């Protein structure tokens, strides 16, 4: 029989991942402004926006309440957020010559790093 504290922790982590998947949608809000500068600059925001949508769909598609199902969902979320972090880190370097275009990348990297760290505590 699984420990109820373990289940509560896994459910809480899943909800944190859902909340920050919704937050990823915010990073897509400046796509139009970046397209005007360079067609490459909005790609990170588009990819992170798609990953945010994937995170929301995952939450509703995998509503398992078993410990194994929750662990699997948390690991999938971890993968999604690591990919989002890698994308934002790479595009921070790409957009570095244009500070206006990378304005959302630094906060995104910090938020993504904290969410990933949450998975291990």
CB 42 within 8 Å of CB 35: yes
Contact 17/51 with Cβ under 8 angstroms? no
3-state secondary structure (DSSP) of residue 112:
helix
- Whole domain around residue 97: which residue ranges? 4-118
Number of domains in the chain: 1
Query: What does the pLDDT look like over 17-57, one tens digit per residue?
Result: 999 999 988 887 778 777 777 788 888 889 999 999 999 99
Percent of the chain with pLDDT over 70: 98
- Which of the pair, 86 or 5, is modelled with greater confidence? 86
pLDDT at 82 over 90: yes
Model confidence pLDDT, tens digit, residues 66-78? 889 999 999 999 9
The confidence score (pLDDT) of residue 1 equals 60
> DSSP string spanning 38-95?
-TTTTHHHHHHHHHHHHHHHHHHH----SHHHHHHHHHHHHHHHHHHHHHHHHHHHHT
pLDDT of residue 80: 95
Check: CB of residue 105 under 8 Å from CB of residue 84: no
């Amino acid at each position: 029989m699984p420990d109820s504290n373990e289940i509560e922790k896994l459910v809480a982590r899943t909800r944190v991942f859902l909340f920050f998947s919704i937050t990823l949608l915010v990073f897509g809000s400046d796509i139009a402004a970046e397209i005007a500068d360079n067609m490459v600059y909005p790609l990170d925001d588009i990819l992170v926006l798609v990953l945010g949508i994937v995170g929301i769909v995952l939450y509703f598609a995998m509503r398992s309440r078993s410990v194994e199902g929750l662990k699997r969902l948390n690991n999938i979320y971890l993968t999604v957020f690591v990919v989002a972090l890698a994308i934002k880190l790479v595009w921070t370097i790409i957009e570095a010559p244009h500070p206006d275009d990378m304005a959302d990348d630094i906060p995104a990297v910090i938020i993504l790093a904290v969410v990933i760290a949450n998975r291990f505590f």
